Amino acid sequence: MRSGRDNAEHGWWAGREVLLAVQALVLVVGLVLWEVLSRRHPGGPSLDPFFFSRPSLIWGRVQQWFTSGFIYRHITITAEEMILAFLIGAALGIALGFVFGRSPLVSRIFDPYIKVANALPRIVLAPIFALWFGLGVLSKVVFGVTLVFFIVFFNTYQGVREVDRNIVNNARMLGATEADLVRHVLLPSALSWILSSLRTSVGFALVGAVVGEYLGAARGLGYVIQQAEGVLDATGVFAGIVVLSAFVLVVDLVVTVVERRLLVWKPPAATEEAR
């Protein structure tokens, strides 16, 4: 006989399979309708292929890009920019989040500056970064860091502030140093906050890279989309979006696997409820 846990896991997987099937069905129906409407049936509703292209043409362009090897260098440069922006922004956000969370004086002094910097529209900064750092990788990384940093910083800060004061005081009474507190009390307690912010900030790191490439670059997925748009190539624009979407799904899968491994200590029910 199955245990209660086995039945719950079996039911969860069965439900997930049904959900994936429904999601795939929605995608297929949408693509079929798009293909049919873009073929200009006389007297009926239609989508102009010049503006909307066709799924068959888009798929053909994507295949051509991968077969010729054209797209690989653009994916590589976008991935490089995203990873660097994520790592640097996350490291700065976690470090400063701990500093501000543990030092009320520092928090009060710099609070207005942090709020003003967070309120600035990031898109306004992109041209400035391009002017300062050029059109290479560095300007996209810096732009991505500005998107990642504040998400991780505020979540880390809040996670540190939410730690039970009684636990901190008891640890101090037992002789724990500040380093011991960070390692054994603050970091484990704030880990859920931090991981939640990291999952979100991965997407923002990618947005920073693509937007930066779109505004000015010589390589990258954003550059590919911008170039296709510049010559009114709807097929190229949608093909770039398809490649970018597939890239996002792969990144999300990797982040999900890493997150589950880091949260293996949490009860399964708590992990699933968080999702």
What is residue 174's predicted lDDT score, i.e. its pLDDT? 65
Q: What is the tens place of the pLDDT at every residue in 11-25?
A: 545 577 888 888 888
Residues 266 and 154 in one domain: yes
What is residue 274's predicted lDDT score, i.e. its pLDDT? 45
Residues 31 and 88 in one domain: no
State the CATH number of the domain containing residue 164: 1.10.3720.10
Domain count within the chain: 2
The domain of 183 spans 54-274
Report how far Cα 229 is from the mean position of its chain's Cα atoms. Answer: 24
Residues 106 and 199 in one domain: yes
Residues 7 and 38 in one domain: yes
Residues 98 and 211 in one domain: yes
pTM over 0.75: yes
- Tell which wins on pLDDT, 124 or 89: 89
Residues 81 and 154 in one domain: yes
Residues 17 and 121 in one domain: no
Least confident piece of the model among 79-93, 183-197, 212-226: 183-197
Residues 225 and 94 in one domain: yes
Decide if pLDDT at 41 tops 70. Answer: no
Residues 13 and 116 in one domain: no
What is residue 217's predicted lDDT score, i.e. its pLDDT? 80
What percentage of residues in the chain have a pLDDT greater than 70?
79
Which H, E and C letters describe 84-150, residue by residue? HHHHHHHHHHHHHHHHHHHCHHHHHHHHHHHHHHHHCCHHHHHHHHHHHHCCCHHHHHHHHHHHHHH
What is residue 80's predicted lDDT score, i.e. its pLDDT? 92
What is residue 23's predicted lDDT score, i.e. its pLDDT? 84
Residues 163 and 198 in one domain: yes
Residues 133 and 222 in one domain: yes
Residues 184 and 238 in one domain: yes
Query: How far from 178 is each of 97, 171, 191, CA to CA, in Å?
Result: 15, 10, 17
Task: Provide the pLDDT confidence category of residue 238 given band limits of 50, 70 and 90.
Answer: very high
Task: Provide the pLDDT confidence category of residue 271 given band limits of 50, 70 and 90.
Answer: very low
Average pLDDT, integer, range 240-245 = 90
